[in-house]
Amino acid sequence: MLTHFFCLQREIDQTLVSYIWIYMRWRDPDIHWNSDEFCGITYLVLPADLLWKPDLMIEEMRVKDKTPQSPFVTLHSDGNIEDENYLTVVSTCKMQVYKFPFDVQNCSLSFKSIVYNDDGITFDVIGTNEHLTKWTLEDMGNQYEWLFLNLTVNTTTLTINNFNQSRIIYTITMKRRSVLYIANFLVPILFFFCLDLASFLISDSGGEKLSFKVTVLLAVTVMQLILNDILPSSSERIPLIALFCIGIFGLMMISLLETILVMYLIDRDSAPEENQADKGLSKDCGDKQGNYYVKKWTHCASVCNVSDEPPSEVLSLGKEDKRSQLMEESDSLEKLPDELSEAVKALSLLLSRKEERTPDYWTRVAKKLDIIFFFVYVIVSALFLVIICSEWMNANDE
């Protein structure tokens, strides 16, 4: 028995679609002739229904093959019968995607008889593994997502309830072409991560930095949804590419939380100043009695009296008028309400406290925190990427 393969794997449902060319040869001892006695005829092409054919089944097959079968077989004069057919087989293949997209898959197809034991049918291999691999590569032609590596075959005996059956197992080894996944998935995520690092240069005073980080985080979330449609959900271990996405997402989320904290600390400095300005403006505009006394303090009186009296008399009268005005001013000051004096004391206390407190204290704390976090963020991110890359290179995909 000789088999060639052209395969396509589907990760999401863990199936292997194989396009197989099967060549079988067996000998029927009851059919033979001397070609010299029959005009040198060495072989005949006969309908397959006229001769006995070994019944074959593939243990891993999930969908019945609908490819039309050849209705003829070739009968040779020495009793050997040859049969060639093409099959499209959808079979199960337990895929190991831990190192996706740098994974290597091994899928098997097991051929055996349905009703005959090993006394009735015994399978044998035509050619060596190297010959089968070379022949398969020559007939395969173009290779798409998967790169065919080698084909191995071995024969075993299956025992079920003291019923022994001969079985032949073909193991196909394929390697995924990872360039497309690197260009369309891994590199864009790294670009998003670099944008997150560059966002530390944006000012924290406005909301642009926060909205930018949220946008980049949502972009990584979209990439994770795309990855979820590719990888199978029945994998025994979490793939490294999923850990890579989760790690990048976690780092960017921590960066977003740090930005929120920095903006909160900066707002603590700006909020008291705005409140004090609002209170001062309301007091200046709303206190009519205080406004009245301010006007009293800024009032300037001038007395101009033009008469025919001598200058000395005019000066004496001016002095008397000034004395009377000063007396009136002193009386008005003594009559100031208690509210104004209390307001003056509160204002002086507020000014003294403002001078004692260091201005922009929380802003400086926020800037120092931002610088320290940036260096820690870069170091942790570099360590994470190094560990993921080394695991991708050295881990066993089992």
Q: Is residue 54 part of a domain?
A: yes
Single out the residue in 177, 207, 226 at which a domain terminates: 177
Query: 327 in a domain, yes or no?
Result: no
Residue 356: both structure tokens together: 């004692």
Evaluate whether residue 90 is within a structural domain. Answer: yes
State the Cα–Cα distance between residues 360 and 85, nearest whole angstrom.
Answer: 84
| φ/ψ (deg, to 5) at 316 | -65, -40
Q: Are residues 163 and 86 in the same domain?
A: yes
Tell me the two tokens of residue 185.
């998935």
* Pair (137, 58) in one structural domain: yes
Residue 278 to residue 235: CA distance in whole angstroms: 62
Per-residue model confidence (pLDDT) at position 359? 55
Give the up-direction half-sphere exposure of residue 241: CA atoms within 13 A in the CB hemisphere: 26
Cβ partners under 8 Å of residue 62, min gap 6 = 15, 90, 91, 92
pTM higher than 0.75:
no
Q: For residues 149 and 191, state if they share a domain.
A: no
Q: Report whether 123 contacts 26 (CB < 8 A).
A: no
Q: Residues 50, 115: one domain?
A: yes
Residues 138, 241, single domain; the answer is: no
* Beta strand 72-76 pairing with 43-47: antiparallel
**What is the per-residue pLDDT for 43?**
92
Give the torsion sign (CA, 193, 197, 202, 205).
positive
Q: Which residues are within 8 A (CB) of 75 and not within 5 positions of it... i.e. 6 or more apart?
A: 31, 43, 44, 45, 46, 51, 81
Rounded to 5 degrees, what are φ and ψ at 46? -125, 155
Q: How many domains does the chain have?
A: 2
* Predicted pLDDT of residue 318: 47
Q: Same structural domain for residues 13 and 111? A: yes
Rounded CA gap, 357 and 353, in Å? 6
pLDDT of residue 141: 63
One pLDDT digit (tens) per residue for the chain, 398 residues: 666 666 677 777 788 888 888 888 898 888 889 988 888 899 999 998 888 888 888 888 888 777 788 889 999 999 999 998 888 888 888 888 889 889 888 999 999 988 888 888 888 888 788 888 888 887 776 667 788 888 899 988 888 888 888 999 999 998 988 898 999 999 999 999 999 999 999 888 778 889 999 999 999 999 999 888 888 776 678 899 999 999 999 999 999 999 999 988 888 877 555 555 454 444 444 444 444 433 443 443 343 343 444 444 443 444 455 555 545 555 554 555 555 666 656 666 655 554 444 557 888 888 899 999 999 999 999 999 999 999 998 887 65
Residue 169 pairs in a beta bridge with: 110, 154
DSSP structure class, residue 70: P
Asked if residues 87 and 64 have their Cβ atoms less than 8 Å apart, the reply is no
pLDDT attached to residue 350:
58
**Positive or negative CA dihedral for 395, 8, 93, 243?**
positive
Bond before 101 cis per omega within 30 degrees: yes
Residues 40 and 171 both lie in one domain: yes
Beta bridge partners of 308: none
Residue 67 confidence (pLDDT): 78
pLDDT (tens digit per residue) in 334-387? 555 555 666 656 666 655 554 444 557 888 888 899 999 999 999 999 999 999
85 shares its domain with 108: yes
Domain with 195 in it: 181-268+366-394
Query: What is d(CA 100, CA 239) in angstroms, rounded to the nearest whole number?
Result: 7
CATH of the domain at 226: 1.20.58.390
Q: Which of 177, 194, 215 is the last residue of a domain?
A: 177
**Structure tokens that stand for 281 in this block:** 């403006």
CA angle 206, 209, 214 (to 5 degrees): 130
Q: Are residues 14 and 105 in the same domain?
A: yes
Same domain, yes or no, for 171 and 190?
A: no
- Contact between 82 and 24 under an 8 Å Cβ cutoff? The reply is yes
Could you tell me the CATH number of the domain that includes residue 54? 2.70.170.10
**Distance between CA atoms of residues 173 and 149, nearest Å:** 6
H or E stretch including 80? strand 80-92
pLDDT tens-digit series, residues 48-80: 888 888 888 888 888 877 778 888 999 999 999
Contacts of 178 (CB under 8 A, 6+ apart): 101, 102
